[in-house]
């Protein structure tokens, strides 16, 4: 797998602008054609050329690690399972809303909320 093309294709599937990319490639000695590890942390256009190399994405331990931050607040990071690795797109889950309480229970709502810890400390 070409690391640059894999990154480029993943970004195209997400469809959001890229804020920042941080990637580390850790080759397995005597196996991979890239002799030294590659670490890049920069804007996308500065990263792509540094990732123009082939690596085995389907055998052995994970070799490519990193995070892509997108302008829409989502991100992608590397996932691995059973020797295969890929980019996984993620987003923050929505905060749950307070349930609609019956009228008689509403008087207890503020008392309950006051018992919750705050970040003021």
Q: What is the pTM of this model?
A: 0.70
Task: Please state the rounded mean pLDDT for residues 47-56.
Answer: 88
Q: Specify the DSSP class assigned to residue 40.
A: E
Distance (Å, whole) CA 5 – CA 80? 18
Sign, Cα dihedral of 32, 35, 41, 43? negative
What is the C-alpha to C-alpha distance for residues 48 and 62, in angstroms, rounded to an integer? Answer: 20
pLDDT at 54 over 80: yes
> pLDDT tens digits, residue range 74-118?
999 999 988 889 999 999 987 666 666 666 666 666 676 677 677
- Rounded to the nearest integer, the mean pLDDT of the chain is 82
């Amino acid at each position: 797998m070409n690391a640059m093309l894999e990154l480029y294709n993943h970004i195209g599937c997400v469809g959001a602008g890229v804020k920042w990319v941080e990637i580390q490639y850790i080759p397995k000695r005597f196996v991979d054609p890239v002799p030294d590890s590659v670490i890049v942390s920069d804007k996308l256009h500065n990263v792509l050329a540094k990732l123009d190399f082939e690596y085995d994405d389907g055998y052995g331990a994970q070799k490519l690690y990193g995070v892509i931050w997108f302008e829409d607040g989502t991100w992608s990071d590397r996932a691995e399972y059973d020797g295969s690795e890929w980019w996984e797109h993620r987003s923050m889950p929505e905060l749950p809303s307070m349930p609609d309480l019956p009228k008689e229970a509403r008087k207890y709502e503020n008392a309950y909320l006051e018992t919750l810890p705050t970040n003021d400390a």
